[in-house]
Structure 1
Amino acid sequence: MAKVTDFGASRLLVKDSVQFMTVVQGTLGYLDPEYLQEHKLTEKSDVYSFGVVLLELITRKTAIYSEGLEEGKCLASSFIQAMKQNRVEDILDSSIMHEGMEELLREVAVLGSQCVSIKGEERPSMTQVTDKLKAIRGTWRELLLLKHKATELLIENSGADANCGLSPSMYWTASMMGIDIETPATSLRAVE
């Protein structure tokens, strides 16, 4: 379970500024490698920490995890290595790998690996991260809407007895419960 806590090192900074610290503060696994080496805290340090949380969400591993007999593995390093070896599917949480979602998960994986880049200058800004996540969410919502429409058509074409007299609006899948789906023409809200 990903938790965002203990970021005592975080401070408000003037845009494009750098703050030097004499003592390293923070939680191992979430700390920017540049901060550990140079004691420089920048906006990109937060991007790194956010990237680790993103990786935790899609891998179901903690920032520092154990695998088999190996203890104290760094998720960011393991993930970057998996990306380089083109075996990211091996490290992703299999419970979120659903048919049709592979490409979206790959996009999140690429974004996460960009966020945890060793060099801060190679990381996206938080604005870029937000924009990319919004785009991915939009695509995901479109896929859910298409799946819903396909299910609705199947039910409509299967006859009245098959749906027990329920209206097509009742056929929300469990994964769609509680999710806002926005389209240009309308906004739908699934009810639990």
Structure 2
Amino acid sequence: MVQGTVGYLDPEYLQTSQLTDKSGVYSFGVVMVELLTGKKAVFFNGPAEERNLARFFLSALKEDQLLRILEDCVLREGDVEEVKEFASLAERCLRVKGEERPTMKKVAAELEDLTDYYGIGRAVMGWRGIEFKSDSKFWW
């Protein structure tokens, strides 16, 4: 029996009912896209093809429409290149085949590199979830 939260489930898990280390990477990619777009993993208003955030995001990237789907504050406060790098990492996390996704260790290292290079906020886990603290005000 497949269990999990709709919108965050790894496509391979949906087919095999087998969780892997890369299943969590997929779910984290969905969270990254939520941060970029300000949308929930699944939303019910709008056309059917846009109701799954991961598919909506990947389609927008393929059509070179990333900037159109971003949260307004990301556009206002984020450097376009750093946003594109973050989005590229999210895209790699959302690949259908788990073997094509980075490891969580690699994801963490790339986020750290982005933090160091651009001076963007570091993620801090708290009781409210993820907060981004930054002098540059890149994240909310």
If the TM-score is normalised by the length of the shorter chain, which range does it land in? 0.7 to 0.9
How far is 1:40 from its partner?
Answer: 1.4
Please state if 1:98 is matched with 2:76: yes
Q: Percent identity?
A: 44
Aligned to 1:108: 86
Among residues 91, 101, 119, which one is paired with 2:97 in the alignment?
119
Moved over 2 A (4+): 66-72, 178-181
| Cα pair 2:8 2:30 within 8 Å, conserved | yes
Question: Could you say what the CA RMSD is over the residues aligned between the two structures, in angstroms?
Answer: 2.2
Report the CA distance shift for 1:99/1:28 in structure 2 as closer, same or farther (over 3 A). Answer: closer
| Cα pair 1:65 1:71 within 8 Å, conserved | no
1:44-98 CA deviation, whole Å, 9 max, x = no partner? 0000001100110111000002443559711111111111111111111122113
Q: Secondary structure, in 3 states, of the residue corresponding to 1:121?
A: helix
Superposition map of 1:1-192 within 5 A:
23-68=1-46, 70=48, 73-98=51-76, 101-141=79-119, 179=134
How far is 1:99 from its partner?
Answer: 6.3
Gaps of at least 5 residues in structure 1 are 1-22, 143-177, 182-192
Using the size of structure 2 for normalisation, the TM-score is: 0.80
Distance 1:100 1:71 in 2: 28
Distance 2:25 2:101 in 1: 7
Distance 1:128 1:80 in 2: 21
Counterpart of 1:95, as a letter, is C
| Cα pair 2:49 2:56 within 8 Å, conserved | no
Distance 2:11 2:111 in 1: 24
Report the CA distance shift for 1:106/1:120 in structure 2 as closer, same or farther (over 3 A). Answer: same
Gaps of at least 5 residues in structure 2 are 121-132
Distance 2:67 2:112 in 1: 23
Instruction: Say which one has the larger Rg.
Output: 1
Aligned positions, number: 124
